[in-house]
Amino acid sequence: MHVVVTGATGGIGSWIVEGLASAGHEVLGVDLERPPGERENATFLAGDLTDQGVAWETIDGADPDAVVHCAGIPAMGIRAGGETFETNVSSTYHVLEAAGRAGADVVWTSSESTYGMPFAATPSLPEYLPIDEAHPQRPEDPYGTSKLVGEVIAERTVRAFDVPVTSLRPAWVSYPGSQQLARVREALDPETAEPGDEGSGNFWSYVDVRDLVSLVGAALEADVEGHEAYLAVAAENYLGRPTAETIEAVYGDLPEDCTLEGEESAFSTAKAREVLGWEPKHTWREAEQEEPVEPSFLDG
């Protein structure tokens, strides 16, 4: 396939470029800046996708079979909330509009923040556990709200252009050799922790970037129609503790409907397994022992 990947030098986007190029696809990577290095089967353009003309010209000129949209501000606390919202919404609208006009399939990174807990000042318990794609979405911050608006844009793109759009909702994305999860794990004392402490907002859930890349591949290969959303989460939490027991210790309660067992993730990936045949394969226990590595084209 010919695939345009936006956010191509970012944490997620760069790994997606690497994965698709390694699989033999021809990739055009787009970001605010071109990377310092090169990659077989990949070319790169610099462009600001919040500019409608840039987005349309870039995607129309590539004549892609598919567009994978990862560009945007990836979390709260990086830019002002209003800028985060405006950047994510405008880039998503322009990229999906351009993809629809080009007749391209779309996969894009939404977020589990649409459920409202991760960046809330005081996170609340969900209606049930594990959380699935049908759980009510009620974001409480500009980032999560921008992602929910993006899913509305996805639905509109399907109606307007009759192209399939897949929204992926990743948890905290972890990378080989990263010690970020370990830092949160080692700092946690369930007896003194409170809702809102780092990691508690998404109930210590994560996904290895390599599993997210494989989910993107599965979504691109699937024969799908319309708009569908899928959670992208590892099978277990990154604490090495029972999930329900830890949630109850920190929040003081559990939803009445809670079927979590052992270290099972608070987010379900049953839909991705059943529809796309996807299973997460990497765990924090293995990844933290690996040497840090990143796509080669990021190192000039």
Q: Give the domain extent around 25.
A: 2-298
pLDDT of residue 236: 98
- For 134-162, the pLDDT digits (tens) are 999 999 999 999 999 999 999 999 999 99
- For 230-247, the pLDDT digits (tens) are 999 999 999 999 999 999
Query: In the chain, how long is the greatest CA-to-CA distance?
Result: 57
Q: How many domains does the chain have?
A: 1
Q: How far apart are CA 296 and CA 300, in angstroms?
A: 8
What average pLDDT is seen over the chain? Answer: 97
pLDDT of residue 121: 81
Q: What is the mean pLDDT of residues 190-213?
A: 96
DSSP codes of every residue in 67-114: EEE--S--STTSS-HHHHHHHHHHHHHHHHHHHHHHT-EEEEE--GGG
Closest to 175 in 3D by CA, of 288, 267, 299: 288
Answer whether residue 300 shows pLDDT above 80: no
Task: Give the Cβ contact number of residue 64 at 10 Å.
Answer: 25
pLDDT of residue 69: 98
Answer whether residue 2 shows pLDDT above 80: yes
- Which domain CATH number covers 173? 3.40.50.720
Q: What is the mean pLDDT of residues 14-29?
A: 98
Position 286 confidence tier, pLDDT thresholds 50, 70, 90: very high
pLDDT of residue 118: 83
Q: How far apart are CA 54 and CA 292, in angstroms?
A: 34
pLDDT of residue 123: 87
pLDDT of residue 203: 97
What count of Cα atoms within 13 Å lies in the side-chain half-sphere of residue 230?
30
pLDDT of residue 119: 85
Q: What is the mean pLDDT of residues 252-258?
A: 97
Q: What is the mean pLDDT of residues 179-202?
A: 95
Angle at 76 between CA 75 and CA 82, to 5 degrees: 115
